[in-house]
């Protein structure tokens, strides 16, 4: 199982794809203080262990997993959440409207419910929280602004290469999601912003921006 690696000024971002759903799990490690944030404990605890082990040398000091942020409540993104939160004692984060779904699906009481505009601070790493309504009621994208000039969006299942997330053919949900993605991501961050989705390959806002009108016209 291969891992991907992104080396920025302030942090490293390691990722691995797991399960029959090819879920992406991301691990952000601060170079300055070793604090770590896991994004989507989707499945496959041994694979997460390997990711954490691989990052142990990414900082000049000892690394420690301090937070687990969940992008949304769907079962394929939370299957390892209970075990990993219980084992590590890491603080858990998720969108307010998805907290109950995560409690029901993973038996995890989220420590910090998140709303649009909130931040997640783990050591020296700060993530901006962007609420994207439509794929689930409480989907959150986590945005990292590295001091080297790179911005990274961990978009969960709200934005992929080629379109927004599944809204189950519900026109109201689709419009809500595309409106939020347009105004809260594309109108706020530059073209070179990296988008790291919940499944599939990394893209950029610039690569996807020309297709926004096409997505709206096709309705998915």
Strands 140-145 and 125-131: antiparallel
Residue entry with tokens 């993530």: 127
Sign of CA dihedral 213, 26, 12, 33: positive
Question: Tell me: the pLDDT tens digits for 206-215?
Answer: 999 999 999 9
Main-chain dihedrals φ then ψ at residue 131, nearest 5 degrees? -80, 120
pTM over 0.95: yes
Q: What is the predicted pLDDT for the residue at 2?
A: 72
Describe the crossing of helices 81-88 and 45-54 by its angle, rounded to 10 degrees: 50
Query: 176: which 2 tokens?
Result: 């809500």
Query: 92: which 2 tokens?
Result: 């858990």
Question: Tell me: the pLDDT tens digits for 150-183?
Answer: 999 999 999 999 999 999 999 999 999 999 999 9
Q: What is the mean pLDDT of the chain?
A: 97
Strands 151-156 and 194-197: parallel
Q: Which residues does the chain have with pLDDT short of 50?
A: none
Q: Which of 133, 122, 88, 134 is nearest to 108 (CA)?
A: 88
Four-point Cα dihedral 162, 166, 171, 174, nearest 10: -60
């Amino acid at each position: 199982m291969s891992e991907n690696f992104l080396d920025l000024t302030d942090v490293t971002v390691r990722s691995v794809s797991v399960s029959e759903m090819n879920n992406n799990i991301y691990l952000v490690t601060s170079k300055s203080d070793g604090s770590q944030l896991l994004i989507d404990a989707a499945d496959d605890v041994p694979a997460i262990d390997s990711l954490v082990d691989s990052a142990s040398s990414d900082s000049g000091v000892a690394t420690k997993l301090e937070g687990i942020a969940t992008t949304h409540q769907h079962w394929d993104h939370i299957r390892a959440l209970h075990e990993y939160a219980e084992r590590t004692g890491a603080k858990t984060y998720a969108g307010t409207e998805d907290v109950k779904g995560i409690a029901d699906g993973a038996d995890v009481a989220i420590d910090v419910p998140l709303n649009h505009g909130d931040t997640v601070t783990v050591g020296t790493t700060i993530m901006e929280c962007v609420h994207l309504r439509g794929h689930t009621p409480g989907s959150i994208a986590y945005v990292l602004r590295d001091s080297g000039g790179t911005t990274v969006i961990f978009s969960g299942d709200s934005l992929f290469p080629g379109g927004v997330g599944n809204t189950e053919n519900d026109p109201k949900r689709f419009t809500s999601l595309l409106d939020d993605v347009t105004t809260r991501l594309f109108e706020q961050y530059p073209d070179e912003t990296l988008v790291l989705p919940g499944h599939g390959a990394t893209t950029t806002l610039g690569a996807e921006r020309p297709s926004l009108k096409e997505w709206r016209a096709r309705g998915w």
